[in-house]
Structure 1
Amino acid sequence: MVVNQCDDLVIKVPKEFSFKENISYMLRSPNECMFEIRDGKVVKAIPVSGEVPLVEISESTNGNLVIRFLGDTHPINKKVRDEVHLYVRDLFDLDNDLKPFYEMGENDLLLQKAIDEFYGLRIVGIPDLFEALVWGILGQQINLTYAYTLKRRLVETFGRSIEWEGCQYWIFPEAKDIAKLTIDDLAPIKMTVKKCEYLIGIAQLIVEGSLSKSLVMGNGELKEAEKMLVKIRGIGPWTANYVLMRCLRFPKAFPIDDVGLHNAIKHLTGAEEKPTKEEILKLSAPWKEWESYATFYLWRSLY
């Protein structure tokens, strides 16, 4: 539910939501370039309907979210305001009822501690499909720190920005801007040639209209969505499931081959070796319908 108070938007949040825990997660990298945390508030440029409002997202005294438009980016059009509201709801996955997940996790040896420690954490989303796919590809076979470096180079080279109070707030490059590039154009980013090819190819598919959120969502079947994504050059099962988790919000998305997931399970079980796929399938059997959240909470337990 959204309440209009002057220019601000107020979003009522469910009991199973903690702004503090989500902010804590968002602070995991000092090299994040798509938003800034200032005094416990999120400042982010949100491109919607041809406009780019700069917003500050904060918590009210009664625990709800407050969206304040900054500078001269106050939208006059109600459609733009509504889309900003929907974007923030999606960003924090507010339409997902986590009660069943928490009830399941209370009796799960792997999840108990993480749920108790990070209660109210949501899968912080990447609402734009192109951005989610690019981020998934950038992170392939490198550490997270370098992935953030690559993303910053890409965004600051090919994206746009809004300036406010002496700071720049970046807008992720659009598919149409990357689709027309060559590998040589992307050379300053210092990605592998393969990753350059993947990014350009995916951007071209989106521009052509053969790849979109609605097409991937299809009939809502996870396996069909995964099949569609892995047919695309550069997208394997890990990247597909990562995007299905963080962008398309499939609760059963499960990047089972993820190294971070393996490390978390190894740590929590006290095992000397990383778990086999068969062991993970056995341990994850109780997570049915909540594999994405179980994975996200186990990732969070690593740092």
Structure 2
Amino acid sequence: MEKPYYEIMIEGPFSFNYTFRRHHRTTETLKPMVIDQETKRFIKWIYLGETPFLLDAKVKKQDGKVYIVPNTEDNTENRSLKEYLSRMLGVDNSLDEFYHTFKDNEKIAMLTDEFHGMRVLANPDLFEVVVDTIIGQQINLTFAATLKERLIRLAGDVKTFEGVDLYLFPRPETVAQLEYDQLRELSFSQRKAEYIIDFARNVVNGNIDFERLWTSSNDEIINELLQYRGIGRWTIECLMLFGLNRPDVLPAADIGLRNAVREIYKLDLQPRTEEVQLLAEKENWGPWAGYITFYMWQYLNMVSK
């Protein structure tokens, strides 16, 4: 008797090209994922629990519907894998609802037309998201990617897939055992080394429970994590959007968002944080503030090229 075959349905419009265009911070020599735009296939080493697992899946369309299909020799329903994929693609976030809500908003409708079917591609490894964001604080993207690769090669793992070096991000337990000087030797600042290692130690000793964050409210997450050194509101907002795939996060202080608002709304000056918040309230961004932010970032990237 054949074992049951399974797949995950994504409701509403879906663009593979737009969704998988955004990578997590990377370098030319080390990649988080192999992406084949032609076959709509993506491959990535992940952890299911504490076990390394080669995530290999395709996106297929059938009868007007979109499915994520794991390519495994034994395609039986794996609850951990199904949960990972659902979190990664934010399958509970309805783009139909998002687009319908703002169909009469000229500025946002312009964005949804331009990037139709683009979903936020999240990283359910919340430890990686936080550390990645800490690394990127107040330095340029190229140097941040270099530091991340150095940390991975020190404490994580690298596996080759079809000639491409893919990484497994270090586990909290491994990072918690590092000494600050080990990161300082890799050109991390003293403070950044302390922030990362201390954060890992708080995860290991149980002060921070990532699994609980999935069911916590945005305010609860902010209040819980703000007490830790190196973790400010912007870092938490990045975690909620790019880790937890929350569509209602508004990182109003983000420079990229403020620049995008200036560009899209044809403002003379970059708006202040308070002005972005007022705009979001006036236009009722509410439940979709995170997606609006994400689309605005992509628009800014497009017009800046």
Residues 135 and 151 in structure 1, CA contact (< 8 A), matched pair in contact too: yes
Residues 172 and 203 in structure 2, CA contact (< 8 A), matched pair in contact too: yes
Find the aligned partners of 2:60 and 2:214 in 1 and give their Cα distance: 34
Tell me: CA distance 1:130–1:35, structure 2 relative to 1, closer, same or farther (3 Å): same
CA distances 1:74-105 after superposition (whole Å, capped 9, x unpaired): 679x68x3211221111111122233221222
Residues 213 and 248 in structure 1, CA contact (< 8 A), matched pair in contact too: no
Residues 13 and 116 in structure 2, CA contact (< 8 A), matched pair in contact too: yes
Q: Partner of 1:113 in structure 2?
A: 110
Partner residue of 1:189 out of 186, 204, 207: 186
Q: Partner of 1:36 in structure 2?
A: 34
How far the C-alpha of 1:145 sits from its partner, in A, is 2.9
Residues 178 and 200 in structure 1, CA contact (< 8 A), matched pair in contact too: yes
Find the aligned partners of 1:39 and 1:107 in 2 and give their Cα distance: 32
The total of aligned residue pairs comes to: 291
Residues 88 and 245 in structure 2, CA contact (< 8 A), matched pair in contact too: no
Find the aligned partners of 1:225 and 1:269 in 2 and give their Cα distance: 31
Q: Partner of 1:142 in structure 2?
A: 139
1:68 equivalent in alignment to 2:71: yes
* TM-score between the two structures when normalised by the length of structure 1: 0.87
Counterpart secondary structure, 1:196: helix
CA distances 1:215-242 after superposition (whole Å, capped 9, x unpaired): 4456x33222111111111011111111
Q: Is there any run of 5+ residues in structure 2 with no aligned partner, and where?
A: none
1:223 equivalent in alignment to 2:182: no
Tell me: CA distance 1:237–1:28, structure 2 relative to 1, closer, same or farther (3 Å): closer
Q: Partner of 1:293 in structure 2?
A: 291
* TM-score between the two structures when normalised by the length of structure 2: 0.86
CA distances 1:177-222 after superposition (whole Å, capped 9, x unpaired): 000111111124322111110000110000001101244456x332
Q: Partner of 1:49 in structure 2?
A: 49
Q: Partner of 1:59 in structure 2?
A: 59
1:96 equivalent in alignment to 2:65: no
The letter for the 2-side match of 1:293 is Y
1:239 equivalent in alignment to 2:239: no
Q: Partner of 1:198 in structure 2?
A: 195
The letter for the 2-side match of 1:66 is V
% identical equivalent positions:
29
The letter for the 1-side match of 2:200 is A
Q: Is there any run of 5+ residues in structure 1 with no aligned partner, and where?
A: none
Find the aligned partners of 1:28 and 1:229 in 2 and give their Cα distance: 22
CA RMSD of aligned residues (A): 2.4
